[in-house]
Amino acid sequence: MTSQLETIGTNSSFVNLNSIEGVKIDLRYATTQNFMSRNVYGDFRTAFLHRDAASMLARAAQSLRRDHLGFSLLIFDALRPRSAQRILWDYVKGTDQERYVANPDRGSVHNYGCAVDLTVMNREGKELDMGTGFDVFLPLSQPQLEAQFLASGELKAEHHQNRLILRSAMVEAGFRQLSHEWWHYDAFSGDEVRKRYQIVE
């Protein structure tokens, strides 16, 4: 897995996200801080996106800094080769978590380098509290249910406001929010990605 990901850095179609101002990296699938509690990426710690999505991410980071001085984007996952997608899929297949992981036979937008999982860090370098953590597959994590959970008090106004800070920057840059994960944004629709871009195996 590590050697395969390293070759991506030599492909001009992809951008190392460390090169974007206002973006920091914490690849959670290269740690045990994910829903599998397993390191999927080995020693690899570099995040890439297709250059088209990366240019959008740069605009989002710029927008965030404009509206919230000193804030930055923290990347949890970006380009994810389909070989890694198969590991995630095998873990959730046949469980209630299956809806949160794309079937690798069709491919995730992540597998094309056109999706990103992320959050916001404040001026002190701390993650904003979004009400749930990354990879917490609960209804409370779903943007489509925020009104319901705000009404019940399970989602606090502060948590919702923090999600809106991220959402505003990303949507302004052209990203699409995934309806059931507050941390996931697609640069383009799945159909468009599969027509225009090549999957990374």
Number of H helices, E strands in the chain: 6, 7
CA torsion through residues 64, 65, 68, 73, sign: positive
What's this model's pTM, rounded to 2 decimal places? 0.95
Domains and CATH numbers, the chain: 2-196 (3.30.1380.10)
Residues 146 and 139 sit within 8 Å (Cβ to Cβ) = no
Edge-to-edge strand list for the sheet holding 176-177: 23-25, 72-77, 115-121, 184-186, 176-177
What are the tens digits of pLDDT across the range 83-94? 999 999 999 999
Residue 62 has pLDDT above 70, yes or no: yes
Give the confidence band of 44 by pLDDT, cuts at 50, 70, 90.
confident
